A and B are shown apart, each in its own frame.
Chain A
Amino acid sequence: MKPPRSPAAQRLLALFVGAALLFDFPLLGLARGRALAVFAAWAVVIALVAWIVERDDDRR
């Protein structure tokens, strides 16, 4: 009965899990003096979200 999850929804879920891990312990390690790397990782996550949602044509 349920509509199948769209590919974009699955990608976003995967990105959420990945970003949740990235934003925690690994990034905390990096945070010792390498702030630039933290901001770069943050920007990559944002870019991935943009890439996923802007090309999803799901108009449900």
Chain B
Amino acid sequence: MAPALVIGTAFAYLLALFALAAWADRRAAAGRSLIGRPWVYTLSLGVYCSAWTYFGSVGRAAAGGLGFLPIYLGPTLAMVLAWTLVRRIVRVARRYRITSIADFIGSRYGASRTLAGAVTLLALVGVVPYVALQLKAIASAYAVVAGARAAAPAWWADGMFWVALVLAGFTIAFGARGLDASERHEGLVAAIAAESVVKLLAFVAVGAFVVWGMFDGPADLFARPGAAPALQAPADGGAWFALVALSMFSVLLLPRQFQVMVVENVDEGHLRRAGWGFPAYLLAINVFVLPLAAAGLALGLPDPETYVLALPLAGGAKTLALLAFVGGLSAATGMVVVEATAVATMVCNDLVLPLLLGRGGALGGLVLAIRRAAIVVLLLLGYAYFRIAGEAYALASIGLISFAAVAQFAPALLGALYWKGGTRAGALAGLGTGALLWAYTLMLPSIARSGWLPAGFVEPGPFGLAWLRPEHLFGLQGLDNLSHALFWSLGLNAAVFVAVSLARPPSAREAARALQFVDVLEPAAGERVFWRGRARAADLQALVARFVGAERAAALFAGRPQGFADGRLVQFAETQLAGAVGAASARALVASVVEEQALAPADIARIVEEANTLRQANAKLESLDRLKDDFISSVTHELRTPLTSIRAVAELLRDEPEMAAPERARFVAIVVDESERLSRLVNQVLDLAKIESGQAEWRDGDVDLREAARQAARSAGALLRERGAVLEVRADEALPPLRADADRLQQVLLNLLGNAAKFVPEGRGRVRLSLWREGGELRAAVDDNGPGVPAAERELVFEKFRQGGATRAQGTGLGLPISRRIVEHLGGRIWIEDSTLGGARFVVGLPLPRPQETPR
């Protein structure tokens, strides 16, 4: 194919990407965000599939069947936990405006600059060659599609140099546009999601063409002689486990993955879709890997790494080959752009800024300039590495070496989320140990194999010491290189992290951060303010203004406390700064303008306790408030009913002076009845209010329950007779006296009898009042042969204004609630059972005084 056509297509593709990103940014500015959709988020995670996997998977498959698969099974495993583990990370990142993985880890362990810097350095070492690998992939793909190329041209004539610059431009335009790195890059994410679609379509199109266009379906393909290696057992089967584990960690810990999955997440709910959508994407893009490998082998094509391009070319489909090239280009550019965005933020916030914070004046522009410069430098470093390393072993193997580097973040990250005991020293020591062992067992051997170190370094070992052989450290045999490196680096990393953390209890600041991270899902966590000291709101605002500009700072601080700042405002200012410069620098900046008191570990426990108590108290107040509102609305409703009828009758009497005397007497009787009901209601409301507020007077004395029952029965007699009901009283002889208020006790029994009288059938009602002693209690029960109370309503009837059932005619709805309050005040209880008479049985249990308290 003509080189001009290939180059033109490549640049046209990049231009389209620019246009798409710009369009998405404009839409976002207009309030119609594209990335608010779960599928866009899910597709953006597809940035995981870089050119290394786009071309490399087929290469691995040609060498050993399914050996390429663990790289995708690992992420599937990790995403099983997206809805739980990743959601925690996203919640923390949102609340504390985390900007990168380095920021996350540094922030958790006491806002440590050293730790964040160490994470950044390790990521940088792992990522630069990885970027170089992408550039190399584009270069080799170009060479295949455009026909073999002569020796590498001078850098200024090399298309790859300009590709690197274009990518830097894209990253600056869409990945480092604004200052707040914790803000979403809408255009970037939309472009990445589109790139995921492009590479999937391209790969699947090539696969379908090869299987059904060049061959007669998969059965024909795999039956060809020569295709066999694609179906054999994985060549490096021993590394299978290590590869699954590595890729499981990388899908979250690679800077670009953390960027799209955590920093760019706009809605936790998207993790729900991503949890299975992303693995499904990985499955889809891998379906044709084995067929392509088999086809390339069957046709005897050279260099399995380029089968994706060479196969359509061999089948005469030039346009498809061009599409495959664009797919590879999209895999490479997506990875480079997001990785550069993420790493530049880390380099700026965690390596460069700490050196500049002493300067005064506005720093916002400077921060942005540093971040942009870091992007250019990163891509040029990647290009330089690509030029220098070229065909070296070190470059080809860098994919997994990068994975292993970022896997070293795993102990500190998991500890950050689930273990409050982890400390800065522990994380630093663990990370340092892991990084050293990673470099020694994986990175250096690959460099030695490239011929940049003496070959004797690997075998027989440095200084001829067999136990120092980097791939058989301390004589460990029987593991492949990757598993061996992972065993030592990650194993000792975790062990040292735990051991050093346990050696010393966390400082107050570490403990505070630990609580913020580990308890992030707890409702009270947001109300804890771990800060003591003196600060002025104006100082904080001025500090924030140095980074975000005076106007924005004024808007942020509008409506917040003026004068002296409380801990909440200090925390707010720190979080705002963290979004721009990272947690560690934000901490140092805030500390420079306020007077802080060091917190002691005991303070931390107290603050947590206070926040919990405050939260509980607030919840209780809210519920009390709601109850009060309900009560008032019920009372007014109940008052209105009798008032309405009194008013209606009174109006009748006024308007018809000629009314006959009997009729007039009937109306007057209604007024009297309703007024009585009204005053009864008002009395009961007052009564209940008194009891509830604890202002009721209680005249406690020795009470004979039998006497109280007799009085109540006498009072209720008239009502019962009126309903034609028969009252039967059964009382045990010689009941001991109770310590209680006699009038109140009588009121309860009277309430229960009156209640029974209302519900028994007219004319044939039966009511029974029984008194007996049971254990340490005196019991009184009122049975009736009314309709009874269904089990589900037996608690409800004791609530205010909840009259049981539809049969309820009169009554205030307060008798039973008052009775329950009285009984509870006397230390007893009241409940409802089924009665042997067929209706309800209200039972009151009252505790007898203990023997020593028995009055003589």
Contact = CB atoms under 8 A, between A and B. Distances in A.
From DSSP, what is the main secondary structure of chain B's interface residues?
helix
Given A3-B521, A38-B69, A24 B241 contact: yes
Nearest to A14: B80
B683 interface: no
B290 A19 contact: no
User: Which of B70, B240, B276, B521 is the most central at the interface, judged by chain A CB atoms within 10 Å of its CB?
Assistant: B276
B616 to A, nearest CB: 11
B77 A31 contact: no
A52 B283 CA distance: 19
Contacts of A42: 73, 76, 279, 283
Given A23-B244, A24-B244, A46-B279, A15 B65 contact: no
A43 B65 contact: no
A53 B81 contact: no
Given A8-B83, A46-B276, A23 B233 contact: no
Interface in A5-30: 8-9, 12-13, 15-16, 19-20, 23-24, 27-28
Interface of A: 1-3, 8-9, 12-13, 15-16, 19-20, 23-24, 27-28, 31-33, 35, 38-39, 42-43, 45-47, 49-50, 52-54, 56, 59-60
Given A16-B80, A23-B73, A31-B237, 14 more contacts: A13-B81, A19-B77, A20-B244, A28-B233, A33-B231, A33-B232, A35-B290, A39-B287, A52-B83, A53-B82, A53-B275, A53-B276, A54-B272, A56-B272
B79 interface: yes
19 contacts: A1-B522, A3-B521, A8-B83, A12-B83, A16-B80, A19-B76, A19-B77, A23-B77, A23-B244, A27-B73, A33-B231, A35-B290, A39-B283, A39-B287, A42-B283, A46-B276, A52-B83, A53-B272, A54-B276
B110 interface: no
Contacts of B240: 24, 28
Interface residues of B, number: 33
A54 B272 CA distance: 7
Most buried by A among B73, B79, B237: B73
B80 A15 contact: yes
B84 interface: yes
Contacts of B77: 16, 19-20, 23
Most buried by A among B84, B234, B240, B275: B84
B280 interface: yes
Nearest to A59: B269
B272 A46 contact: no
A54 B269 CA distance: 10
A28 B80 contact: no
B76 A46 contact: yes
A35 B272 contact: no
Interface string B535-556: 0000000000000000000000
Contact of A19 (B69, B80, B233, B287): B80
Contacts of B522: 1-3
Nearest to B287: A39
Interface string B77-96: 10111111000000000000
A56 to B, nearest CB: 7
Contacts of A28: 233-234, 237, 240
Nearest to B69: A38
Interface string B252-279: 0000000000000000010010011001
Interface string B185-198: 00000000000000
B141 interface: no
A38 B76 contact: no
Contacts of B84: 9, 12-13
A60 B283 contact: no
B66 interface: yes
A31 B276 contact: no
Contact of B81 (A2, A12, A31, A32): A12
A27 B66 CA distance: 10
A15 B81 CA distance: 9
Contact of B283 (A19, A46, A53): A46
Nearest to A10: B84
A16 B70 CA distance: 15
Given A3-B521, A16-B77, A53-B272, A31 B233 contact: yes
B90 to A, nearest CB: 12
A33 B233 CA distance: 7
A31 to B, nearest CB: 4
Contact of A35 (B83, B231, B237, B612): B231
Contacts of B65: 31, 35
A9 B241 CA distance: 25
B851 to A, nearest CB: 41
A22 B287 CA distance: 19
Contacts of B283: 39, 42-43, 46
A12 B271 CA distance: 13
Contact of A31 (B76, B234, B241): B234
Contacts of B244: 20, 23-24
A15 B240 CA distance: 20
Interface in B50-75: 65-66, 69-70, 73
B231 A49 contact: no
Given A2-B522, A32-B232, A38-B69, A12 B80 contact: yes
A39 to B, nearest CB: 7
B249 to A, nearest CB: 13
A12 B847 CA distance: 51
A29 B851 CA distance: 77
B233 A56 contact: no
A24 B290 CA distance: 19
Contacts of B83: 8-9, 12, 52-53, 56
B272 A38 contact: no
Contacts of B290: 35
Contact of A49 (B66, B79, B237): B79
A54 B277 CA distance: 11
Contacts of B521: 3, 60
Contacts of A27: 73
A49 B234 contact: no
Contacts of A56: 83, 272
Interface string B731-748: 000000000000000000
Contact of B276 (A9, A33, A47): A47
A29 B79 CA distance: 24
Nearest to A6: B84
A50 to B, nearest CB: 4
Contacts of B82: 53
B232 A45 contact: no
Nearest to B280: A46
Interface string B646-663: 000000000000000000
A54 B280 CA distance: 15
A32 B233 contact: yes
Contacts of A60: 521
Contacts of B69: 31, 38
B42 to A, nearest CB: 12
Contacts of A8: 83
Given A1-B522, A42-B73, A43-B283, A49 B232 contact: no
A15 to B, nearest CB: 5
A2 B522 CA distance: 7
A3 B520 CA distance: 11
A23 B241 CA distance: 9
The 9 closest A-B pairs by CB, nearest first: A50-B276, A49-B276, A31-B66, A16-B80, A23-B73, A53-B272, A46-B279, A32-B233, A53-B83
Contacts of B275: 49-50, 53
A60 to B, nearest CB: 6
A35 B279 contact: no
Contacts of A59: 269
A28 B373 CA distance: 46
A21 B505 CA distance: 36
A54 to B, nearest CB: 6
B677 to A, nearest CB: 47
